[in-house]
Structure 1
Amino acid sequence: MIKIENAGSGVFVLRFQNGENRFTPEFLEGVNKALDEVEGEARALVTTGEGKYYSNGLDLDWLAANGQKSNWYVGEIHALYARLLKQNLPAVAAVNGHAFAGGGMLALSHDFIVMRQDRGWFCLPEVDINIPFTPGMAALVQAKLSTGAAHDAMLTGRRYTAPEALEAGIVHRTAPEEEVVKTAIELAAALGGKDGRTFGAIRRTMYRPAIQVLCGESALPLS
């Protein structure tokens, strides 16, 4: 489900290989195990999906069938976002396709985003699927995007193409399909040359309010 590749120069690539890469409990566990495996050796991290999808976020079918576990489930998602924000590893998301809802927020949990320029959308559709943002998720989006971009993305559910996402400051670079991961690896390698503890400390200070909210609450508001 999660394939680990050593790309050289201290960069490890985590490839999500589960179709739409929705956040099943197994997927979340797999990402955390992969992070456990590489964090002692890696100097920087890249994540990517395959085919049409980076990640479509929450597994709503699982959530509907396991409503009694919703607090635990959302807490696990918050913990993954917070882990990426807190870790000493610089991280780059290579968004190869659609990054929707929680998948878009997973990308935002990285330090930089490289998005495929000719296909795929970045979208936070919560307003259209009647699932309000949790305080932790809202704090993450508002910490990573400008006020205007967060307002637009969160309240309209707009689907951003890569050029539109670049213009809005949601992603940092775009690239052709065959260059997305390569571009992300090059960026990660440059970041990996920095002292990880210093990098992580700066990031934790920058995003402390979002980290505190993500780590401090897990309830999923449904109304």
Structure 2
Amino acid sequence: MADSIQYELNDGVAILTLDDGKANALGHDVVMSLGQHLDKAEQEASAVLIVGREGKFSAGYNLKEMMAGPDSARKLVKAGGELMMRIFTFPRPVVAACTGHALAAGGILLLACDLRIGADGPFKIGLNEVPLGMTPPMYLVELARHRLSKRWYTRAVTQGQIFSPSEAADVGYLDACVGGEELLSLAKAEAKRLGALPHGAFAEAKRREREALATAVLQGIDADMNSFKLDG
């Protein structure tokens, strides 16, 4: 299977472009590939920028793998959770350029990144696990609690409400919503700006902010997967 992620180091920023030619679904191979690219970025980059394809950031976990049986679904959701928590605690700044739809695990990916800039347009952003009949994993619940506006939290997580990009900026999925023609240039500039921060101070501040949450989630992930259900 060809890697659907392009890696480019540009002026100290590791740019990871997700483009499978379809919906940018996160299958096990993609999750593993993202982890490998992060390994490389951690060694040579000052910041990371995750970019989707035009109109689609990510539609979430690969449906074929999710429907292949409970073991397949749990394996993917666990691997995805470990990746999300790695991004959440990554020692370098991680910026997301949300190029379009970001649903389910695509929405979780936004929550895991440090700075999220989205393209305005007729796109859907949100955590639609509950409407799909999926038990929200604890890493979703806790990342959303950490990143989303308190007044929107229940509607976003328990009710699975979906938002436009401009609404998503108010809810907390995005930090800014801009015209599509501005997205990449602004995201690159922001990644470069954050990458210029003193690396040690940034990494330690991020660790102090997030380590307790990440440790608790990862310690409980096996038990969480034992109660995971997909009954849609």
1:92 is aligned to 2:95: yes
Aligned pairs, number = 222
Compute the displacement of 1:167 (Å).
Answer: 2.2
Q: Given the alignment of the two structures, is residue 221 of structure 1 paired with residue 228 of structure 2, yes or no? A: yes
Give the letter aligned to residue 170 of structure 1. Answer: Y
Contact 2:110 2:173 in 1 (8 A): no
1:47/1:94 contact within 8 Å kept: yes
Shift of 1:64: 1.6
Q: 1:221 Cα shift?
A: 1.7
Equivalent residue runs for 1:66-145 within 5 Å: 66-145=69-148
Alignment of 1:145-160 (within 5 A): 145-160=148-163
| Paired amino acid for 1:186 | A
Q: Which residue of 2 aligns with 1:163?
A: 166
Change in CA separation of 1:203 and 1:107 when aligned onto 2, cut-off 3 Å: same
Q: Deviations over 1:113-151 (max 9, x none)?
A: 000012312111112111121122211111111222222
Bigger relative contact order, structure 1 or 2, given CA contacts below 8 A and separation 6+?
Answer: 1
Spell out structure 1 runs of 4+ moving beyond 6 A. none
Q: Name 1:22's counterpart in structure 2.
A: 25
- Distance in 2 (CA, whole Å) between partners of 1:175 and 1:158 is 22
Deviation per CA, 1:33-61, whole angstroms, max 9, x where unpaired? Answer: 11122221100111011122101111232
Of 21-30 and 211-220, deviating more is 211-220
CA contact (8 A) 1:101 1:126 kept: yes
Deviation at 1:29, TM superposition (A): 1.3
TM-score relative to the length of structure 2: 0.89
Identity in percent: 23
Counterpart AA for 2:228: P
Residues 70 and 169 of structure 1, relative CA distance in 2, 3 Å threshold: closer
Matched position secondary structure for 2:177: strand
Question: In structure 1, what is the equivalent of residue 38 of structure 2?
Answer: 35
Given residue 144 of structure 2, which amino acid in structure 1 is its aligned partner?
A: V
